[in-house]
Structure 1
Amino acid sequence: MTVMRISESRTEFKLKNPPEDSISSVKFAPKSNQFLLVSSWDNSVRLYDISTNVERHKYTHDLPVLDVCFRDAVHSYSGGLDNTLKMYDFNSNMETVMGEHKDAIRCVEFANEINAVVTGSWDGSVKLWDNRAPQCVGTYNQGNERVYTMSVIGEKFVVGLSGRKIFVWDVRNMSQVNQRRESSLKYQTRCIRVFPNKQGYVLSSIEGRVAVEYLDSNPEVQKKKYAFKCHRIKEGGIEKIYPVNAISFHSVYNTFATGGSDGYVNIWDGFNKKRLCQFHRYNTSITSLSFCHDGSALAIACSQLEDSDEVEDPKPEDTIYIRYVTDQETKPK
């Protein structure tokens, strides 16, 4: 298969004043290609204006922050190893402690469908939070397995758990799990993202593989699911296999980017089973990816993973790249 390799150019730049430790999550604001939230193992959450390359705001937790999300243009939510969910108002520079889990908060997402925050924790639960009042409005057991990753699009809510289990929920009715699945990949789940059209989801594992799954249980639809190998490098006749840490969907084209511990970002057309392009190799592992709402820019977080087997010495610089992507790179052929 011929792959278009994209070299570094004026379409890409580094954000100034990056976090001082590994970057755990990057997320663009809704309906914006200007504001980017970044959480880090340096205990901080930062808001960047990428149009001027300026850090606008910064607030902290007591321990490393593992995930962050926007509610709207001026409010963020964040959680991490201090077990605490915080809301921050960038207009007033005020923070509110919403509540906590019994263990680390691994995932934080905003569910527009129900106007609520959703958190997933290593305590084996998912919680819903009312954004109008700092309180938890529901706790939902995930089979007592750690929540590793989750994704919400509309009413569809998919949770990836430590034992390779996948729970599919409907955020409008959390009284029961809609589907209980097992990952089609043999190894631990690293990231899950629901397709923008809500037909299915893409998940990645620590063992250089990605699976495209469909939610409709009709056997004809299920025949379309598949998995493929990626983020592998042959050196000296030996294939090195890397975790696929990050996935982000292009909201316009339904194509998606993957980022791996090999330092590469690939763009895929999941429906036609094609790789569209591969960017140049970055300085270390890709830990998080985020397309902005119109798909014109991709934020790429590069950090040595805290749980990585491959410790580089000296530790590579923690960097966030902003890449303005083209239709050639992201549009199905």
Structure 2
Amino acid sequence: MSSQQYAVPDPPTDAISAVKFGPGPSRLLLVSSWDKNIYLYEVQDGGSSQLLRRVELEAPILDVCFGDNEHEAYTAGLDWAVSKVNLETSEKITLSSHDAGVKSVVYSPEHHLLISGSWDSTLHVHLTDNPERTWSTIRLPSKVYSMSITSTKLVVAMANRWGHIYELERIRKLAAQANNPAPNVLDIQTWQSRESSLKFMTRAVACMPNDAGYASSSIEGRVGVEWFDASEESQARKYAFKCHRQTENGADIVYPVNALTFHPIHHGTFASGGGDGVVALWDGIGKRRIRQYQRNPSSVAALAFSSDGKFLAVGVSPGFEDGQEDSQGTVAVYVRELGENEAKAKGAK
């Protein structure tokens, strides 16, 4: 069976910032947008889907994620706030406020940790199972551009092309010990600190679901893959490659790689989405492209696999790749239903 792609009804009216599937067997899909709303859809086999709820916040939303269940969401936005949203009642609670826009928010169900990353060069840490405690701060050397987590680690990609890797258990322990009620700064050492293998600004980072490593992408049409293991042998495996480039009139046009997401079952497989409107699947272990899908009508802004790997959500919206800030184009969310072995690397068991 080959995959088919379907448009989600009632899409956002402005640029899409994130798409996220619900935890476990959930068929719910969260979408955040610069139109100040988060959208909750239900996705069905065969491509049909429906909008269940739309919740408006105070400012454009730059990221969203689910919490412990499919009824709670956390948002990050240009109002500098980190908010919790009840997806059943639309009730909103502000959990903390940064000193600049909040670029990314991630949630760890294993550690009951909500972590936000901001352009103010800080992380805010919230213990979601202990709401009586205030949030804690981790100071960073530069603005946060992207974050991703595994069951044990947090990867923070920053504006200075450096990435910090933290142990979630250590963050949890220090946050639980911090003095209350005043917000406090955690004196925490990074587990690892790495300079990006990509020469240009980082656009996205995504962790491997088996806790082995991560991929990062840049504005200059490249993706790098590396492993957490700091041994010389393991670090020798890291590599980078060119992608999302088009040849027009004999010229090589390079597009930013805006989005990355790993397949939850075939751990070496990940998807990339670029300013060229293209989504590609890659075998990160075998270092080869598995397949490339048809070009979308606008730049790919966000990607997410469902927890069972059956669906791939694709958020597209106009980018600035042509140099026009007022670029006109399609804003849409597509859901691709994958064939049984479509994301499986060649030779994989």
Report the TM range for the smaller structure's normalisation: over 0.9
Match of 2:28 in 1: 35
Aligned-pair CA distance for 1:163:
0.8
Confirm or deny that 1:228 pairs with 2:238. Answer: no
After TM superposition, give the deviation of residue 134 of structure 1 in Å: 6.9
Question: What code does the residue aligned with 2:338 have?
Answer: V
Q: 1:61 — aligned with what?
A: 57
- Aligned partners of 2:205 and 2:215 also within 8 Å: yes
Residue 100 of structure 1: aligned partner: 97
Q: After the TM superposition, which residues 118-133 of structure 1 pair with which residues of structure 2 at under 5 Å, given as runs?
A: 118-132=115-129, 133=131
Shift of 1:32: 3.3
Instruction: Answer yes or no: is the 8 Å Cα contact 1:148–1:190 preserved in 2.
Output: yes
| Distance in structure 2 (CA, Å) of the matches to 1:314 and 1:218 | 46
Q: CA deviation at 1:312?
A: 7.9
Structure 1: runs of 5 or more not aligned? 1-5
1:115-156, Cα deviation, whole Å (9 max, x unpaired): 12110000001111122427543210111x100001011111
Which amino acid is 2:58 matched to? D
Change (3 A) 1:321 1:164: same
Which residue in the other structure is 1:45 paired with? 38
Shift in Å, 1:42:
0.3
Aligned residue among 133, 139, 142 for 1:141: 139
Residue in structure 2 matched with residue 202 of structure 1 by the alignment: 215
The 5 A counterparts of 1:303-314 are 303-305=317-319, 308=321, 310-311=323-324
Letter in 1 for 2:301: T
1:13 equivalent in alignment to 2:6: yes
Counterpart position of 2:184: none
Deviation at residue 93 of structure 1 after TM alignment:
2.9
Cα distance between partner residues in 1 of 2:291 and 2:3: 18
**RMSD of the alignment, in Å?**
1.7
Over the matched positions of the two proteins, sequence identity in percent amounts to 37
* Aligned AA (2:76): G
Give the Cα–Cα distance (whole angstroms) in 2 for the partners of residues 191 and 135 of structure 1: 31
CA deviations over 1:162-211 (Å, ceiling 9, x no partner): 01011010111132111111000000000001111111110000000000
What's the secondary structure of 1:329's corresponding residue?
A: coil
Alignment-derived partner of residue 288 in structure 2: 274
Amino acid at match of 2:331: D
Secondary structure, aligned partner of 2:342: helix
1:22-64 CA deviation, whole Å, 9 max, x = no partner?
0000000011351000000001111111225211111122210
Structure 1 residues 211-269: Cα deviation after superposition (integer angstroms, max 9, x where no partner) = 00111111011111100000001111110000000001110001000000001000000
Match of 1:23 among 8, 16, 33: 16
Equivalents in 2 of 1:146, 1:134: separation in Å? 28
Correspondence for 2:194:
181
Matched, 1:162 2:159: yes
Q: Compute the displacement of 1:91 (Å).
A: 2.6
Partner Cα distance (1:137, 1:189) in 2: 27
Moved more, 186-195 or 313-322: 313-322
CA offset at residue 11 of structure 1? 2.0
1:10 Cα deviation from its structure 2 partner: 7.5
- CA pair 85-314 structure 1, distance change in 2 beyond 3 A: closer
1:329 CA drift (Å): 2.5
Aligned to 1:173, the other structure's residue is in SS state helix
SS at match of 1:330: coil
For residues 313 and 84 of structure 1, the distance between their equivalents in structure 2, rounded to whole angstroms, comes to 27
Distance 1:271 1:16 in 2: 36
Give the distance between the partners of 1:148 and 1:121, measured in 2 at CA: 8
Between the aligned partners of 1:63 and 1:308, the Cα distance in structure 2 is 24
3-state SS of paired residue (2:282) = strand
How many matched pairs? 324
2:274 is matched with which residue? Answer: 260
Q: Which range moved further: 29-38 or 296-305?
A: 29-38
Structure 1 counterpart SS, 2:13: coil
Query: Which amino acid in 1 is paired with 2:53?
Result: H
Give the match for residue 288 of structure 1: 302
Deviation per CA, 1:272-330: give whole Å up to 9, x if none.
Answer: 0010000000001000000000000000001013x655338761120000000124430
Q: Which residue of 2 aligns with 1:3?
A: none
8 Å contact from structure 1 (residues 61, 82) kept in 2: no
- Cα separation, partners in 2 of 1:295 and 1:77, compared to 1, 3 Å: same
Distance 2:224 2:3 in 1: 33
Residue identity opposite 2:65 in structure 1: C
